[in-house]
Structure 1
Amino acid sequence: MNDARNTILSRLKTASIDQTMPLARNISNSVNWSSNYKVQLFRTQLQSAQAEIYDATDHSWLMTLQHICQAKYLKNILLSPTTSWGEAIIENSTNLPSLKYYDDPVENWKQTLFEGIEAAFTSTYGGIADTGTLILWPDTQEPRMMSLVPPVHIAVIEKSKIYNSFAEALKAQHWNETELPANILLISGPSKSADIEQTLTYGVHGPKELVVIMV
């Protein structure tokens, strides 16, 4: 048995593997909705998955964020201090709860992250209308933990970056020409899970609430 195993492993190690990236297929969009319809469909799909949606503008989104925090009685909110959104929040934090920054390795404050943070605010890379999905691009500024651990996830999305489909998002944002992160997140609602008796529970594997601000 060991000889057979070693033979297989040896063949795998010496095999000639083509490392070149396959040519991207020509993606033709089956739909091409208007901007207004994409936004409306995106909203409807997310709301059907129990997400909260708020309309805002470049000038009003901070007030919308303040309203959300007050309505949910949040005592603190985690954000990145180095993104443009985070910088704007820091500059206009008078009516916001205590701001916490993800600016230290998680090993140094894991207990606080898991037990003391009530909400996190993140940016998004875009959205998918036909499924009501947020695209998140985790990096050193906004690590994966920000959208995974706190019980409330508040995400901001620009309406101009809502695409008809996932295929269109890939093509429009030139993902085949970009160095991708370790993981890309597709979020279509708060975390939910069901047991063998089909009892649906929110927040088992991630945030109980997803709040989306559309700008």
Structure 2
Amino acid sequence: MSAKERILAKLRGSLEGTTAVADDYDEALVTVPWRYAPEKRLDRLREVLESVHGETRLTTAADWPALALAALVERGIDELLVSPATAHGQQFAGYLALNGSSLRLKAYDRPVEDWKDELFFHTPASLTGTLGGIAATGSLIVWPTAQEPRLMSLVPPLHIALLKASEVFDNLFEAMHTQGWAGGLPTNALLVSGPSKTADIQQTLAYGAHGPKELLVLILQDA
């Protein structure tokens, strides 16, 4: 018997003769105070996110590539990390080709150990999708995958995130249950509530210390 098996056996044995405590958890505690009228849900998310220096822009599933490119050009950024294996990555690449843009695209297509220096010091921006948003806290749900590893949204100074307006939930409890999180979680499920920020002992607020300095959320309003 391995050490792990011995530990598990002791834990199981310690439960013998005990009675499970009744599950009387009141979900209203984490839902009722944070419910919004459907027409106010998106406004709430934008208000909270922008209050902490996040930037949001309304667009559509067809028009977002133009908005993303304009934001990059405006900042003088000529290179973007985006996954070619995603539908939005393919859409953006197609838009660039159609419009003759010189923006360079790079993919997260190798282990981080093989290009850590390039990723951390020579990748100015990234574009990722999201699993949805949470109105109560102004948060994005970022669900890392093999195509879009978590460092894509955590390392580049500018993170451009795509959010479908139809996937904004009132609160975290609603999001978890509606999307069936109990059926399987990634190694890291991220809740992003603005650009990275920190403050020193003198309460001087600084952005970008532990992640992206800028967060631009493109909200797709198509039904």
Q: Settle same-fold status: TM greater than 0.5.
A: yes
Choose from 47, 58, 62 the match for 2:61.
58
After superposition, the C-alpha distances for 1:69-105 in whole angstroms (9 at most, x for unaligned) are: 1111111110111011111111111336211111111
- Whole-angstrom distance in 2 between the partners of 1:75 and 1:117: 10
Shift in Å, 1:24: 11
What is residue 188 of structure 2 aligned with on the other side? 183
Opposite residue 92 of structure 1, the aligned amino acid is: Y
Q: What residue ranges of structure 2 are gaps of 5+ in the alignment?
A: 16-21
Paired with 1:128 and 1:96, the residues of 2 have a C-alpha distance of: 35
Change in CA separation of 1:15 and 1:101 when aligned onto 2, cut-off 3 Å: same
Matching residue of 1:3: none
Q: For residue 88 of structure 1, give the secondary structure of its aligned residue in structure 2.
A: helix
Q: 1:213 aligned to 2:208? A: no
Match status 1:140 vs 2:143: no
Task: Give the secondary structure class of the aligned counterpart of 1:182.
Answer: coil
Cα distance, 1:26 vs structure 2: 6.8
Q: CA distance change for structure 1 residues 205 and 59 in 2, over 3 Å: closer, same or farther?
A: same
Give the alignment partner of residue 197 of structure 1, picking from 194, 202, 208. Answer: 202
- 2:199 alignment partner AA: A
The structure 1 segments of at least 4 consecutive aligned residues displaced by more than 3 Å after TM superposition are 9-14, 22-29
Say which SS state the counterpart of residue 15 (structure 1) adopts. helix
1:16 pairs, out of 11, 17, 22, with 11
Query: How far is 1:58 from its partner?
Result: 1.4
Change in CA separation of 1:164 and 1:85 when aligned onto 2, cut-off 3 Å: same
Counterpart in the other structure of 1:4: none
Uncovered stretches (5+) of structure 1, i.e. residues with no partner: 1-8
Q: Give the number of equivalent residue pairs.
A: 203
Check 1:190–1:15 CA distance in 2 against 1; reply closer, same or farther (3 A cut): same
Query: Does residue 115 of structure 1 match 2:121?
Result: yes
Shift of 1:27: 3.6
- Seq. identity, %: 39
Cα distance in 2, alignment partners of residues 58 and 24 from structure 1? 43
Give TM-score scaled by structure 2 length. Answer: 0.84
Whether contact under 8 Å (2:35, 2:171) holds in the other structure is no
Residue of structure 1 equivalent to 2:40:
37
**Cα offset, 1:185, TM superposition:** 0.3
Equivalent position of 2:19 in the other structure:
none
What's 2:161 paired with? 155
> Once superposed, what is the RMSD of the aligned Cα atoms?
2.3
What is the deviation of 1:171? Answer: 1.1
Secondary structure (helix, strand or coil) at the match of 2:80 reads: strand
